[in-house]
A and B are shown apart, each in its own frame.
Chain A
Amino acid sequence: MAIAQSAGTRADEFALIRAAQRGDQLAFEQLVRTYDQSVLKLAMNLLRSPDDAGDVYQEAFLRVFRNLHSFRFDCSFHTWLYRIVTNLCLDHLRKRKVRKEEASVVQTADGTMDRLDSLTEERADGDPQRKLLVGELKDKIQKVLAELTPRERMVFEMRHYQGMRLRAIGEVLGTTEEAAKNCLFRATQKMRSALGAFL
């Protein structure tokens, strides 16, 4: 989801942040509501676990609450918030890499489920062979996503699923647009070489 802001919206957000910095609870809640869905979506896409995504949500907005007084408008609030979220997600991803726990299944309130099962299978309808191929493709996608470096994964998720521009992604990750572009390039190359045979 792209978060494009008009000048008017930016002015509203400025006022909202200033009010929240002064201790206005409603303003803070409104600020959270503006961004929390996209934050949760990013965490969920990256971590593939509702529990972990929920933890990142809590920790991210708690950090925002505790440190909002030190937010100096040197960057946009969106960038500041996403820096917090991506750092938390990177920590999770790195820990998983160490523990080699990257799983293709997710834990939900209803128990463990393979998230690949919930995907749409439009092209597979009525064709068992095709269905098998689509299943294999999904497995392959999961595998290649899990094999990307945390940074490549982060850039890919923010560009492909969050619709953020590479310049903004660079700002969030504390790097240049060019470096983000290279990350995206590497990620798409890996996916193409892994998935090319299925397309």
Chain B
Amino acid sequence: MSSPNCEWARNYLPLFLYQELSAEEEDTLQSHLAVCSDCRAALEVERQLHQTLDQEDPALPAGLLNACRSRFTEQMVIERALPKAGVLGRARAWFDGLQFAQSGWLRPAAAMALIAIGFFAGRMLPHQDRPAGLDPVVAAVAEPVSTRVRQVEPAGSGVFQIVLDETRERVVSGSPDEDRIRQLLISAASDPSDAGLRGETIGILSSVPPCDETRQALLTAVEHDSNDGVRLRALEGLKGMAQQSDVRRVLARVLLKDPNAGVRTQAIDLLTQSAPNAGIRENDMIGVFQDLMGREPNTYIRMRAERQLQKVKASTEVY
């Protein structure tokens, strides 16, 4: 080893070629390479290894991609047909698939399975045929999208009773002005499992004339949603309400606590939008901005707060 750094440098050469070193690591390595001819030679060997491996990257065999696409398109036709066909249709499609199987012995087994599924489906169908109710907004009730076995119990004589939990899709439609639709939208806006759904729903709630419930949903989202995009959308929806005192209190908390600088910038925009020249006047808001000066890591937001405080001749220092 020609210097204490050589072993370290050799280990980092591959990551250097992959551009995966931090700026600091790269600087250290470059400095070492500048003075160490052995490591420069080792870098050349590493480069050759990279180039050799590059040649090992084979092109896809001709026609493979198209063959895969065709096969997948055929599979999709079957997949899309299945939900519409219901339980019996699924079993039939599955059985039809087995007709192509080369193993002839599978067919009797499949026939037995089909009988079993037919019996099972027969037990289930009365529930599916139940009227969807009198709700005028219900447009369609779909097949179960997921089924989970919750409990299995022996019922004697080799028979088992299986309890299923099923999730069904139901399509409803209507205007956000309708109570029922609004309630569903508000519920979706707080669905913890789907940030995409929350973002879309908050976008819809932001675009309709506000009422107490939608306003509350936006305030909750802007302060508590875990997704930055959802909080930004909720802020958009609050633009027309930024003069209301309870909204301003929430915006102040967001400005002081939100981890995302973009959200905090939007919050300060809303808090100052009504008085761009005069500056904020409320005493409690001046306190918020002074507090912000002491804790805000973002230079731009600190500068905005400082300007506001200067406009109302309030101190920008934190004591």
Are A45 and B58 in contact, CB atoms less than 8 angstroms apart? Answer: yes
Q: Number of residue pairs across A and B with beta carbons under 8 Å?
A: 107
Q: Does A36 have its Cβ within 8 Å of any Cβ on chain B? A: yes
Q: Which residues of A contact B64 (CB under 8 A)?
A: 40, 44, 50, 53-54
* A89 to B77 alpha-carbon distance, docked (Å): 25
Chain A nearest CB from B233 CB (Å) reads 12
Q: Does A109 have its Cβ within 8 Å of any Cβ on chain B? A: yes
Write the chain A residue with the least CB distance to B76.
Answer: A65
Q: Does B14 have its Cβ within 8 Å of any Cβ on chain A? A: yes
Interface string of A132-175 (1 = CB under 8 A from B): 00000110010001000000000000011100011000000000
Are A32 and B11 in contact, CB atoms less than 8 angstroms apart? Answer: no
Are B194 and A73 in contact, CB atoms less than 8 angstroms apart? Answer: yes
Q: How many residues of B contact A (CB 8 A)?
A: 39
**In the complex with contacts A18-B200, A57-B72, A199-B49 CB distance below 8 A:** yes
Are B79 and A181 in contact, CB atoms less than 8 angstroms apart? Answer: no
Q: Which residues of A contact B67 (CB under 8 A)?
A: 54
* A54 to B53 alpha-carbon distance, docked (Å): 24
Chain A nearest CB from B220 CB (Å) reads 19
Write the chain B residue with the least CB distance to A165.
Answer: B20
Q: Does B68 have its Cβ within 8 Å of any Cβ on chain A? A: yes
* A75 to B89 alpha-carbon distance, docked (Å): 35
Q: Which residues of B contact A66 (CB under 8 A)?
A: 79
Q: Which residues of B contact A50 (CB under 8 A)?
A: 61, 64
Q: Does A27 have its Cβ within 8 Å of any Cβ on chain B? A: no
Are A120 and B55 in contact, CB atoms less than 8 angstroms apart? Answer: yes
* A104 to B68 alpha-carbon distance, docked (Å): 23
Q: Does A30 have its Cβ within 8 Å of any Cβ on chain B? A: no
Chain A nearest CB from B191 CB (Å) reads 9
* A36 to B11 alpha-carbon distance, docked (Å): 35
* A37 to B72 alpha-carbon distance, docked (Å): 13
* A72 to B199 alpha-carbon distance, docked (Å): 11
Write the chain A residue with the least CB distance to B20.
Answer: A166
**In the complex with contacts A25-B80, A37-B65, A44-B60, A191-B15 CB distance below 8 A:** no
Q: Which residues of B contact A185 (CB under 8 A)?
A: 11, 14-15
- Which of B11, B65, B72, B195 has a CB less than 8 Å from the CB of A72? B195
* A108 to B58 alpha-carbon distance, docked (Å): 13
* A141 to B48 alpha-carbon distance, docked (Å): 13
Q: Which residues of A contact B18 (CB under 8 A)?
A: 159-160, 166, 184
Write the chain B residue with the least CB distance to A56.
Answer: B68
Write the chain A residue with the least CB distance to B45.
Answer: A199
Q: Does A82 have its Cβ within 8 Å of any Cβ on chain B? A: no
Interface string of B217-244 (1 = CB under 8 A from A): 0000000000000000000000000000
Are B58 and A115 in contact, CB atoms less than 8 angstroms apart? Answer: yes
**In the complex with contacts A166-B20, A184-B14, A61-B58 CB distance below 8 A:** no
Q: Which residues of A contact B80 (CB under 8 A)?
A: 25
**In the complex with contacts A115-B58, A166-B20, A72-B196 CB distance below 8 A:** yes
Q: Which residues of A contact B258 (CB under 8 A)?
A: none
Are A36 and B69 in contact, CB atoms less than 8 angstroms apart? Answer: yes
**In the complex with contacts A141-B56, A191-B53, A199-B45, A36-B65 CB distance below 8 A:** yes
User: Nearest 7 CB-CB pairs, A to B?
Assistant: A188-B14, A73-B196, A57-B68, A199-B48, A72-B194, A73-B195, A199-B45
Q: Provide a sorted-by-A list of 18 A–B residue pairs whose CB atoms are within 8 angstroms.
A: A14-B196, A32-B72, A40-B60, A41-B60, A44-B64, A53-B64, A54-B71, A62-B79, A72-B195, A73-B194, A73-B196, A74-B195, A119-B58, A141-B52, A160-B50, A165-B20, A189-B14, A191-B49
